[in-house]
Amino acid sequence: MKKIILATLMVVSLFAVTGCKKANKKVAEDAVSDLKNRGVFVLGLDDSFPPLGFRSDNNEIVGYDIDLAKEVAKRLGVEFRAQPIDWDAKEMELETGKIDCVWNGFTITEERKNALSFTEAYLNNDQVLVVRADSGINSLADMKGRIVGIQSGSSAQEAVDDNSDFSSSISKLIMFKDNITALNDLDIGGVDGVVMDSVVANYSIAQTKKPFKVIDESLANEGYGIGFRKNEPELRDAVWNILKEMQNDGTVTAISQKWFGRDISTIK
């Protein structure tokens, strides 16, 4: 009797696994069609990440990534929606289907590549240290015994952890919800430096005119990609192919000129 029950369970399990595989394959194959049927492309982002995605004075979500994604949605024949998310929960927001992709200065790492389906890098970036201009800090070594701030859930954490000389020399590492909050704390002296994306740091300093400076030494070089669900490479490829078309017809260059004053795209 036990043998019969065991055999039955094995058959049921086999069908269940086979069914899941077929379902997952169907999801992957239908990702683009499903998006077009829904009629809206939902981008998940941290809406305080200038100039890639942030709130304008009119509280509208704008930025380099936003302009790119709007044009991609247009060429896909669907509407565009920017959906602010908790950056710490970005992978969960994606896996639960609340968003179609994470597209907002999303650094490509090996760990993330194992969990998500990434495009190639569309921008290069460095993790840099921002300090007050009058601080007397001119190198990473000068941060010995000082307090550093970073955005929680960002690749700045990995950059700090991977630089053992730097991480062991500082006295404290403080997490912030976003880079803007971290820079505000730097402005009032709550921290002595902020490790963050060079793209965001240079733009923020230029726009706010606050007395900050970027230390020349980089903690890490990285590339920004667009993250999709692991079983939806077709949607990833569809978006990437459109971006390549946009690069070739000058659209990406025009958008890059608008936000950076030059073409810094790495799309080929």
**Tell me: the pLDDT tens digits for 19-63?**
443 334 444 458 999 999 999 999 999 999 999 999 999 999 999
Rounded to two decimals, what is the model's pTM? 0.81
pLDDT at 88: 87
- Show the CA angle centred on residue 43, arms to residues 40 and 46, nearest 5°: 150
Residues in the chain: 268
Tell me the pLDDT band of 196, cut-offs 50, 70 and 90: very high
Per the structure block, which two tokens stand in for 137? 């800090």
Q: Is the pLDDT of residue 186 over 90?
A: yes
Q: Are 214 and 198 in contact (CB under 8 A)?
A: yes
Q: Is the pLDDT of residue 264 over 70?
A: yes
Backbone dihedral region for residue 178 (phi beyond 0: left; psi -120 to 50: alpha; all else: beta): beta
